[in-house]
Chains A and B, each alone.
Chain A
Amino acid sequence: DAKTTQPTSMDCAEGRAANLPCNHSTISGNEYVYWYRQIHSQGPQYIIHGLKNNETNEMASLIITEDRKSSTLILPHATLRDTAVYYCIVRFIEYGNKLVFGAGTILRVKS
């Protein structure tokens, strides 16, 4: 029901960039893409969100394709503390703009 598709898991070497893909082919013009992460036994942590343009903040960059059907979250220099489940979420208008979590991607950063 989340209507976003992410790989189940990914590995990344410490210090390298982690690129996490997400497909959201049914997204429409006013629907935002959000990324959250959840470290074991903690609450989800907001990372970044965007509509059409690429976004960057102190944590990550969000690259959204021109057709908006997919996006990539980039952690520029992954550390062991970035090991977490990463959720790509579209706030679909048909779902009342609710923040609905899908299965997410388990990112393992390895030394």
Chain B
Amino acid sequence: DTEVTQTPKHLVMGMTNKKSLKCEQHMGHRAMYWYKQKAKKPPELMFVYSYEKLSINESVPSRFSPECPNSSLLNLHLHALQPEDSALYLCASSLKRIFPGNEKLFFGSGTQLSVL
């Protein structure tokens, strides 16, 4: 199994809603990532988890709340989002080598989020 699975594939939510994005991998990877991609732009890193602990937060607004309940699962909890948060949200995972420059990230196919 070399897949990163993201659910749902599409999500429409209002600005007062609370929703969650889910990401799962069964490759034994110990690093997991959230990226955000606006239309016609490259992906931008949001969060990195290493061994289930948050190691990088790229100054993401608090309306985005990540959670890593175990080594296979990564969630992104959404609350009080704005229309400009509409984007493709990508999850990725990697093995977590001692030297991180020499490890490849595996990406899921993303959740397309629309905030109305």
A and B associate: yes
Q: Evaluate contact between A98 and B90: CB separation under 8 angstroms.
A: no
Q: Evaluate contact between A100 and B90: CB separation under 8 angstroms.
A: no
Q: Which residues 40-58 of B sit at the A interface, judged by CB distance below 8 A? A: 42-45, 48, 56
Measured in the bound complex, the distance between the Cα atoms of B105 and A43 in whole Å is 11
Q: Evaluate contact between B90 and A44: CB separation under 8 angstroms.
A: yes
Stretch at the interface among B13-21, B59-67, B68-76, B106-114: B106-114
Contact of B56 among A46, A87, A96 (CB under 8 A): A96
Measured in the bound complex, the distance between the Cα atoms of B101 and A55 in whole Å is 16
Contacts of B102 in A (CB 8 A): 32, 49, 51
Measured in the bound complex, the distance between the Cα atoms of B92 and A34 in whole Å is 15
Q: Evaluate contact between B42 and A45: CB separation under 8 angstroms.
A: no
Q: Evaluate contact between B105 and A99: CB separation under 8 angstroms.
A: yes
Q: Which residues 21-71 of A sit at the B interface, judged by CB distance below 8 A? A: 30-32, 34, 41-46, 49, 51
Contacts of B90 in A (CB 8 A): 43-44
Per the CB 8 Å criterion, the residue count for chain A at the interface is: 24
Contact of A30 among B4, B101, B110 (CB under 8 A): B101
The closest CB in chain B to the CB of A98 belongs to: B45
Q: Evaluate contact between A42 and B101: CB separation under 8 angstroms.
A: no
Interface presence of A97 (CB below 8 A)? yes
Contact of A42 among B45, B48, B110 (CB under 8 A): B110
Measured in the bound complex, the distance between the Cα atoms of B35 and A100 in whole Å is 10
Measured in the bound complex, the distance between the Cα atoms of B109 and A98 in whole Å is 20
Q: Evaluate contact between B107 and A45: CB separation under 8 angstroms.
A: yes
Q: Evaluate contact between A46 and B101: CB separation under 8 angstroms.
A: no
Residue-wise, chain B 92-106 has the 8 Å CB interface mask toward A (1 for contact) of 100000011110111
Name A residues whose Cβ lies closer than 8 Å to a Cβ of B. 30-32, 34, 41-46, 49, 51, 87, 91, 93, 96-104
11 contacts between A and B (CB under 8 A): A41-B110, A42-B109, A43-B4, A43-B108, A46-B105, A87-B42, A91-B101, A97-B100, A98-B56, A99-B92, A100-B45
